[in-house]
């Protein structure tokens, strides 16, 4: 019988690289499967939809409430501007009437404004602005408190079955 030929170094290298690649493929497959099993353990809780819904509702309610508070604050700001204008108009009207009365209508035309009505409007706005600001601040605090309670309830529901 003839002796088997000895493989050349190049053949040995190619055989080694093929074996190494097969081992690498097997190792990669094992790692992939173990990672996939770990990811399956981190699945969403059974009540994920309820958790998401409660959390989203809390955020939407907060946004709606904040929008209403901003609208109230804007109304208060408009009242401040209106009050400033009404008070200024009342002062200007009073000056016009004083000048008219002082000079007997000779040098000045008779004013067409009503200083009393303007002053009443100025006084009414002056009284209404502080409660407006206080109500907006109270509503803002209530919105924040309600948001925190709703968010806590959502988190509790999410943790209860996780």
Over pLDDT 70: what percentage of the chain? 86
- Cα angle 144, 150, 152 (rounded to 5 degrees) comes to 100
Q: How far is the C-alpha of 15 from the C-alpha of 20, rounded, in Å?
A: 9
In a domain, 28, yes or no: no
In a domain, 22, yes or no: no
In a domain, 32, yes or no: no
The structure's pTM equals 0.54
Q: What is the pLDDT of residues 49-94, one digit of tens each?
A: 677 777 788 888 888 888 888 888 999 899 899 899 989 999 998 8
In a domain, 48, yes or no: no
In a domain, 141, yes or no: yes
Domain count, the chain: 1
Domain ranges, residue 143: 54-162
Q: What is the pLDDT of residues 39-56, one digit of tens each?
A: 555 555 566 667 777 778
In a domain, 35, yes or no: no
User: In this predicted structure, what is the pLDDT of residue 53?
Assistant: 78
In a domain, 132, yes or no: yes
In a domain, 88, yes or no: yes
């Amino acid at each position: 019988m003839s002796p088997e030929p000895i493989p050349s170094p190049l053949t040995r290298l190619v055989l080694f690289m093929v074996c190494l690649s097969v081992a690498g493929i097997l190792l990669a497959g094992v790692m992939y499967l173990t990672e996939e099993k770990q990811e399956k353990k981190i699945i969403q809780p059974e009540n994920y939809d309820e958790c998401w819904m409660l959390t989203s509702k809390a955020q939407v309610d907060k946004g709606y409430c904040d929008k209403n508070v901003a609208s109230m604050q804007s109304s208060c700001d408009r009242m401040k501007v209106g009050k400033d204008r009404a008070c200024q108009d009342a002062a200007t009207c009073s000056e016009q009437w004083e000048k008219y009365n002082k000079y007997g209508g000779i040098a000045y035309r008779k004013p067409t404004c009503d200083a009393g009505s303007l002053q009443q409007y100025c006084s009414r706005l002056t009284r209404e602005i502080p409660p407006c600001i206080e109500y907006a601040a109270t509503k803002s605090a209530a919105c924040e408190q309600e948001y925190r309670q709703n968010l806590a309830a959502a988190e509790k529901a999410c943790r209860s079955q996780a």
